[in-house]
Structure formats: structure tokens, C-alpha cells
Chains A and B, each alone.
Chain A
Amino acid sequence: MPFRVKFPLTCIVALVALAGWFYMGWLGQTGPQWAVAFLGPFMVFALWVFPEVARK
């Protein structure tokens, strides 16, 4: 996936995770709030962990 697509996607994932963290806090869901705190950064990591398939 090209950088110009992957970078905005990363930003959206981070923003949604941040919103989810606040939402879980507002609901008083402590466990899921911690899970969101883990999931957001982990999804960002997952987006970038493998290099793009490219020709040598």
C-alpha cells in the first residue's frame, strides 16, 4: 500500500483508538479501556511492520 494511503489510514486508526479509549472510560469499562489502549498502538505497529512487497 502506498505511503500516501497508509499514512492517513494510520492517523485514522490512531484517532479512532483515542476516541474509543475515551468512550470506554465514559462507559466505565476499565478492562476494555486498557484493551483499546493496547489495540490502538498495536494496530499502528501492524500497519507498518512488514515492508511493502517490491521488486529487487
Chain B
Amino acid sequence: MELASSDMSDRQRKYRETYRQRVTGWYNGWLHIAIIYIIGVTALYIYIANLSNVTPLQWLIVPVTFLFCNFFEWWLHRFAMHRPSQNPVFRAVYNRHTLMHHQFFTEKEMRFADHLDYRVTFFPPFALATFTLMSIPGALVSGWLFGANVGWLFIATTTSTYLTYEFMHYCCHVNENAFVRWMPFVNTLRRHHTAHHAQSIMMERNMNLTFPIMDWAFGTSDLNRGLLGTLFNGYGTKHLKTDMRKTSRTPRPRGSKPAGMQPAE
């Protein structure tokens, strides 16, 4: 099981083959997607059914939470998913993302070979449960402070962001097609994320995985454009920064093997 035509290096091909061989147990990528969206849509139904007579002021929690989620996504990616931590949970996140996902997909070959490869891209189902639990205190506090509607809108926005994240990331790793080529935001993220998979800049550029707002705000985008230009850039490479790192800056904790030698876990 591998793509018939690909520019991937022998090293990447070997890694993908080894990863697939070392994954034991059954798996179905379509079921994985169904689980994520059944949970997400059911949860959204519960939240939205509890809304009643939302005032214009209460709606403001949606953009505020959206921006907070965008920052959280950027921060987690930049400071947890690409940093080897001593904390076992964060270390597991780093292993899964930097050592597996980034070797399985490189800027030379970003595509799934089939649904079994979804496992190395979608978060495991427990992540959605964890993120939902993490949102509950925020929903309770905002609901208590500003009214129940605000609490329900807060958690509806965090769940929606999670579903958007998974969808956008999935679109980055599918075969080229008219939708991903021409759909605004999706085409932007596809180029943005492909560039991020280059080993030389993966530690410091293009950390957003939905809308590159925080990459623009914190100067970690590989584009030299304003916010709207960054968001609607599409596949364009005209505005690429020219002062970016050309060599890899993958961290290697003392005594560890080089990243390329790490086995799948």
C-alpha cells in the first residue's frame, strides 16, 4: 500500500512502510472520522438547543473564543507539538507529531495512500473528549458571569474549532482536487501547511492549522503579507519571505537518537 507516483525520498518511503508495519491492531480511517463528527455534531446539537433569545452582546463571545482557540492551536503546535518535553503527556504529543507525522508526511509528499494513513493525522478519539472536558470550566464560568447563552456559545465555538481543525488538516493531506485548490481558506492552509512540513522551518513557521491569524500576528508566517492577504493567499508563493532558515533545527535531547531514527510508537 503506497502511492504509485510520488516524489518522496527513499527515507520517507521507508519510514511510511515501517510505520505501517509496526502498527498493530485493527484500524479504520472512515470510522475514525465518523466517530469524531458524530461526537462533535451531537455535542453541538446539545449546546445549540439550550440557546434562547441570544442578545447581540452575547454573540460577541463567538469571535472572542474563536480568536482564543486560534491562539491556543498556534501555541500548542509551536510550544508542545514541536518541543521535546520531560512531561510524559507532552512528550507523547511531541513523539506523535514531530517524530511520526512529520516523517510520514514531508513537503515532498503530503498525501495519504489510503484510509489507514488517517491514523497518523487525525487526533485519537480521546483528544476530543479531553478538549471537551477542558472547555467545560470555561463554559461554566462564562455562563455564570454573562448568562447561560454565553456559556453554551463558548463551548459550541471550541467544539466547532476542533471539528474545523480536523477538517482543514485532512484537506492538507488529500490528493489535489478542485475543492482544495479553489476553496478559500482551504487552499491557503494547504500551501501553508505543506510549507510547514519542510524540515528546515517546521519548528518556527506556519503553526496555525485552521486560519493563519496568529501566524500573521506573531510573525511566524512564511508570508510577508497583511492579514487578509495571508488568509486569502491560496497557493501563491509570490510573497514568501526570503530570510527563512534553510537547514533543519530539529531539537535532539541529550542522549537521544536522531529524529530520523526514531521508531513508530
Enumerate chain A interface residues (CB-CB to B < 8 A). Answer: 1, 5-6, 9, 12-13, 16, 20, 24, 27, 29, 31-32, 35-36, 38-39, 42-43, 46-47, 49-56
Enumerate chain B interface residues (CB-CB to A < 8 A). Answer: 21-27, 31-32, 35, 38-39, 42-43, 45-46, 49-50, 89, 92, 119, 124-126, 128-130, 133, 136, 263-265
Can you list 20 A-B pairs with a CB-CB distance of less than 8 A? Answer: A9-B126, A9-B130, A24-B46, A29-B50, A32-B45, A32-B50, A39-B39, A39-B46, A46-B39, A47-B129, A49-B31, A50-B27, A52-B25, A53-B22, A53-B24, A53-B264, A53-B265, A55-B24, A55-B264, A55-B265
Interface of chain B, main secondary structure: helix
Q: Which residues of A contact B49 (CB under 8 A)?
A: 29, 31-32, 35
Check B32 against A50 for contact (C-beta < 8 Å).
yes
A-B contact sample (5 more), CB < 8 A, given A35-B46, A42-B38, A50-B27: A1-B126, A6-B126, A12-B133, A20-B46, A32-B45
Q: Which residues of A contact B89 (CB under 8 A)?
A: 5
In the complex the two chains form, what is the Cα distance from A43 to B36 in whole Å? 9
